[in-house]
Structure 1
Amino acid sequence: MMSILITLMTFLRFLLFLSAVGTAAEPGSALSVEHKHMKFGHNWKDAQKFCRKNYLDLATIYNQEHANSPFLLEYKAWIGLHRGKQNDWEWIDGRDYEIKWASNEGKNNGEKCAVLGYRYNNRKIYSRDCEMKSFAACQIINSSSTTITQEMMSWSEAKEHCMKISQELATFTEEEMTVFSQQDFPIWIGLHRHDSSWKWSSGLQEDKYWKLEPSDNKDCVTITSVTKRLAVENCQTLHPFFCMNDNVILVKEKKSWEEAFEHCRGLGLNSNLRFNLLSVKPGDEHKYVVNRVTEADTEEVWTGLRFLGDEWLWINGKDVSYTDLLKCPPLGRHCGAISKNDRSNVAARDCLERKNFLCYSY
C-alpha cells in the first residue's frame, strides 16, 4: 500500500512538472553541447589541459557529418605591427598605414604586438601578448604577396621566421587587407593514441569510426579547418584547438531513481538555472552521454526516463525516441538507466536500485 502511495505521489509531481515545462521543441533532447575554437597554439597535452580547466575537454567528433558542421575558418596571424620605444603602434617598415582595429583593440598597454584576424571576408587587427603562439603572415619584401605559415610561434619568432625565408612580417594598407584569405590548417581535437588504440580524451572511449592508422611519433589527431579531414600529428606540434562544453552534471552519489530526481531538482534552489534528470536521444547523443559516464562509480546511471501509466516518458516532457524499450516492463522496473557499456540503448531497471545519475541545467 505504501509503495503504491509513493508511486501515485511521484506521478502527481511529474504531471505538475510536465505542465510547467510545456512541449519539447526537439524530441528527447535536453543535452546542449557547445564548441569553442581556440585560435592560439598549444601542443596536444597543453590544449587538453586548457580545455579541461576552462570548458569540459577537447572536442569529440563522431563521424564525417559531425565533422562538417563546426565553423573553423577563423584564424589569427602575426603581422608587422607592434609597439615601439615610445609605446606607440608602429609598422616594421616605418610607414604610417591606417590601422583597422577590431572593437576595443589596441588599447591594452600589456599587449604590444598585433595579429590579423580573419573570419569569412571580415578582416580586423587585434592586439595580443607578443609571446602568444600564432600563425605568421610573411610577405615578400616590396610586394603584397603574403603567405600564412602552418607553424605557430611568438611574434619575435615569427619575425625571425619570415627573415629566414627572405621575407618580412606583413604590412599593408586597409585596402590591401583583402590579400588575407581562407586557409586550410590543422586543429587539435580529442582523439589520441592511448593503450595502443585510438581513444577520445573525454571518457577515453575507443574510437570506432575513423579507423586511423598508427604512425611513428604521431599519436594525436587534428581536423582541417576547410576540408574537415582528420590526420595524425606529432603531439608536440603547436596547433589551434577545439574545446567542448555541455550542460550535464554526473552526480557520483548512489541514490534510488526518485532520490536522484529530487536531488537534480534541488540543485537549482540557489541559482538562476533549473535542473532535472537528463533526457537523451538515441544515436550520436547517446554515445556522447556514454562517454560522459565512464567516470561513474556505478556500472549504470539513472536518466529521466520513467514508465508511468502505460507508457515510457521523459520527465521533462520530451518525446521518447528509443524504439526497443519494453512495452510492458516487469513491476518495479519502471525507471531508465544508461550503461557504460551499451552505446545505443536505455535499460529498464528497478527504481529502488541505487546508482549514480545524470542531471542537466536549463
Structure 2
Amino acid sequence: MGKKSRPELMLLFLFNAVIWMEARLQRTIYFPGLKLTWTEAREYCQNNYIDMFTWDTMNMNLLSTCLVKKKIRNVWIGLHEDPEQDSVWKFINVKTGKGLTGEDVSQSKNWATGQQFKDRCGSYNSFLKKWYSKNCSKRLYFSCYEDNLVLVTENKTCEDALNHCREMTTAIYKYDLLSFRNSSDFSYVRDQIYRATTEEVWTGLQFLGGEWWQSDGKTLDPQEMLPDCPNQWEHCGTMSKYNTANWIIRDCSERRNFICYYKRKKT
C-alpha cells in the first residue's frame, strides 16, 4: 500500500508549503535507478507501485527539476504509440493496467522538434523538457508513481467506514477517511476508485453542527459548494466513479465502498 523501504530516489509531490501542511492526498515519484526496456520498466512499476509516470498523474516541471539535480537526462514515461492506430500516441491506461487512455497526443507541443516517430515508445528528456520516441527495446532509466490512497471494497455505513479506516492505523501510519484540500484532486481520485463495486464511495465529508466538516476536523472551504440545510439524514458526502460533480450528498446509513488515506505519524 505504498509504504516502501527500499533506498530509492523519491520525490514527494508537495505542491507548496501551505498545502503540504494540510494535504491528505500525496503522490510520490520513484526512480528505481535501473535501466530497463519500456515493457520491463512498466512491469516493474506495476509490480512495485501503481504505474509509470504520466502527465495526467504528475507535474512535469517537478519531475524535470528532480531529474536534472540527479543528472538523469532520459527516462521512459507511460507514453507509446497505439498498436492499432499508426502515428497515434497516447498515455497508458492506469485504470485497467492495460491499453491506452485519453486523446491522441501526437500533435502535442511537448514533442521535440523534428520527431520522425519511427519508434513506438515514449521517453522524456529532463534537460530539454521534451518527449522523444525511442525503440522500446532500448534500456533507459524510468520513473514510477504511487499515492497514499486505499480503496476498501466492503459496503459499510459512513460511520462504520470511518471507524474501519481509523482501525487500520499502525505504529507508523495513521489512517482516516479521505479528506480533500485541493479541488484539483477530484479528477485524480475519481480515476483511482474505478475498482469500487459501488458507483459512489464514502469520503470524509459530514454535516455537523450546521456546517460541513471533513473527517480530519477541518471545515470545507467554500461551504457554498454544499446545501446549508441538507435533507434529513443526508449528512454525508460521497464521490462517484462516473458523475463529475465533486460532492454528492447521501443518507449516512446507506452502505457502500469507501476510500481511506494514510500518512506517516509524527515522531
Scaled by the length of structure 2, the TM-score of the pair is 0.72
Give the letter aligned to residue 51 of structure 2: D
CA distance in 2, matches of 1:195, 1:267: 44
Is 2:219 aligned against 1:331? no
Structure 2 match to 1:224: 125
2:177–2:203 contact (8 Å) kept in structure 1: yes
Q: How far is the alpha carbon of 1:216 from its aligned partner?
A: 6.8
**SS across alignment from 1:72:** helix
1:159-198 correspondence to structure 2 within 5 Å? 184-185=73-74, 187-192=75-80, 193=82, 198=90
Q: How far is the alpha carbon of 1:231 from its aligned partner?
A: 4.1
Is 2:179 aligned against 1:291? no
CA distance in 2, matches of 1:321, 1:200: 34
Is 2:212 aligned against 1:312? yes
Q: 5+ residue gaps in structure 2?
A: 1-17, 109-115
Match of 1:206 among 101, 113, 119: 101
Is 2:169 aligned against 1:276? no
Overall identity of the aligned pairs, in % = 32
Structure 1 match to 2:247: 346
Match of 1:238 among 139, 155, 163: 139
Give the letter aligned to residue 207 of structure 1: G
Give the letter aligned to residue 178 of structure 2: L
CA distance in 2, matches of 1:306, 1:345: 14
Structure 1 match to 2:7: none
Match of 1:61 among 39, 55, 59: 55
Q: How far is the alpha carbon of 1:69 from its aligned partner?
A: 1.3
CA distance in 1, matches of 2:153, 2:225: 28
Structure 1 match to 2:155: 254
CA distance in 2, matches of 1:336, 1:310: 15
Q: How far is the alpha carbon of 1:250 from its aligned partner?
A: 0.8
Alignment: residue pair count: 229
Rg: which structure is higher?
Answer: 1
CA distance in 2, matches of 1:55, 1:313: 32
Structure 1 match to 2:67: 72
Q: How far is the alpha carbon of 1:257 from its aligned partner?
A: 0.9
Q: How far is the alpha carbon of 1:347 from its aligned partner?
A: 1.4
Give the letter aligned to residue 141 of structure 2: P
CA distance in 1, matches of 2:259, 2:84: 28
CA distance in 2, matches of 1:68, 1:326: 38
Give the letter aligned to residue 245 of structure 1: E
Scaled by the length of structure 1, the TM-score of the pair is 0.55
